[in-house]
A = this chain, B = another copy of it.
Amino acid sequence: MKTDIEIARSVRMKPVTEVARQLGIAPDDLELYGKYKAKVPLSYIDREKRKNAKLILVSAISPTPAGEGKTTVSIGLSQALNRIGKRSCVVLREPSLGPVFGLKGGATGGGLSQVLPMEDINLHFTGDFAAIEKAHNLLAALIDNNIQSKTRSLGLDPRTISWKRVMDMNDRSLRHIVAGLGGTASGVPRETGFDITAASEVMAILCLATSIADLKRRLGNIFVGFTYDKKPVYARDLHAEGAMAALLKDAIKPNLVQTLEGTPALIHGGPFANIAQGTNTVVATEMSLSLTDYTVTEAGFGFDLGAEKFLDIKCRAAGLSPNAVVLVATVRALKYHGGQPLKELKTPDVEALERGIVNLQKHIENIGLFGLSPVVAINKFATDSDEELQFIRDYCTMRGVPCAVADVWGQGGAGTEELAGLVAETADHCCPQFKPLYPLDEPVTRKVETIAKNIYGAEAVDYTPKAKNALKRIADLGLDALAICMAKTQKSLSDNPALLGRPKDFVITVRDIEIAAGAGFLIPITGEIMRMPGLPEEPAAEHIDIDDEGNLSGLF
């Protein structure tokens, strides 16, 4: 069997100028990055035109460690829509190097549903992550430089600085550090740390910004810490937002590439809906809506994480509303939720499937809470038995939920046409404006409780003393009306990765709340979730290589 990278390399790509032409973009307007990648100027966003296009959100059940293939289904679905005569573009998030070098590998789909050139997209792509990282860390350097300053000090209390640094790397040793050691010439010692770049507030700001002016305004609003006399300090007080925005001048433009079937793909914005907002950029979504009829986009991990944030944060802020929600499930994952061990998921077991289907059930119910209708997509694996597939189909049919099996990996668009037909029909006919889950003007604890109880199914929410202090700080700063961006494990509907299926009678523990005033949300950190991952015992990096001609291997 061919690997993903072998399949990718066997395809003859179109020049990206030709992909652009399909979308009505003049080749001369592109900023090329090689022959197969390009940035598209924001002038291709047409906010009137985008209102008539259909937005399809692809989400998933609570995933197994390997993921449910949400990206692969999104790509396959968009390929299939184009096959059945519906002009479609898939809008994805950019991969993080953390998983590429860690455990999970790249994030460009798989098999016959991939975006190309996969090596480039999975490594530095067009440099957006590097630019975000640099803008973030420039603010950190300006903060520490101001603390060190003799003549221009704002009186920042180093113990109150909440702005950390970021690096796009799974590097657990940087989570908690003491910096500024080495004497008076090398800064003021203080506790700080690094998050992974996808979790940067600058990433969230880039994802939500609608223009350069909006980008700069949001960057200026980043909360930094307090002075010794308890006055809040924002990035604008350090005159940081101009240089930060300058660093992002290209990163704000969406990246155009192609799928394995030569259909257009916009890839822009960061992943990790467990520890960040984890949706692609507003401008990429709007651009696709402006240029095609059916935009297929994804939000990270299960519906409880990525999709909830996609709706309550991104769609609310940008005035978007999906016309269909695709819920990706696999036989394997549902059996895993039913108690079948990871190593045995290839063995048919309808009983485990029956026990695990409650996870799908809960996510279907959650979609309804936003006033939206689901389409279930079963991402087919070669080891799935007919009986197992039929069980899920029957389950959905009984509940009136459209459902299709899609062989996105093995057959690409050709294996996804049934799903594409269902999705197009749903999107064409069923398009109410979605209802956000909570109003912004409620108290923070009420908003968190609404998410925890209604979406996760929790009994209650508990706050550690540190989180309670954070609540008080947020109130003092007058930032109660921000949206909520939960940091929670993706492995369970609860904050405990071990609770599979549809857990009940559990309490969500908020151990801290970070402030992202520029992005416009608060980040309650639950359970043991970390905003800087670590590498596994045997990192994928050890198997990545390049030959003398520059060909990569071991990426997948």
Give the B-binding residues of A (Cβ under 8 A): 31-35, 97, 101, 119, 123-124, 127, 130-131, 133-134, 137-138, 140-142, 144-145, 148-152, 165, 167-182, 185-188, 191, 193, 211-213, 216, 238-240, 242-243, 245-247, 249-250, 534-535, 537-539, 541-550, 552, 554-555
Contact = CB atoms under 8 A, between A and B. Distances in A.
A119 B123 CA distance: 24
25 contacts: A31-B35, A97-B134, A97-B138, A119-B249, A123-B247, A123-B249, A124-B247, A127-B130, A138-B541, A140-B171, A141-B535, A145-B534, A145-B539, A149-B537, A151-B537, A152-B537, A172-B186, A173-B186, A174-B179, A175-B182, A185-B534, A212-B549, A245-B546, A246-B555, A249-B552
B538 A152 contact: yes
A217 to B, nearest CB: 11
B172 A148 contact: yes
Nearest to A194: B179
A3 to B, nearest CB: 15
A555 B249 CA distance: 14
Nearest to A211: B548
A170 B167 CA distance: 16
Tell me how many chains of this kind the complex includes. Answer: 2
Contacts of A187: 172-173, 175, 534
A293 to B, nearest CB: 29
A246 to B, nearest CB: 5
A238 to B, nearest CB: 8
A213 B548 contact: yes
Contacts of A247: 123-124
A455 to B, nearest CB: 27
Contacts of A555: 246
A257 to B, nearest CB: 15
Given A124-B130, A169-B134, A177-B177, A145 B535 contact: yes
Contacts of A243: 101, 541-542, 544-545
A220 B241 CA distance: 40
Contacts of A550: 212, 249
Contacts of A182: 175-176, 193
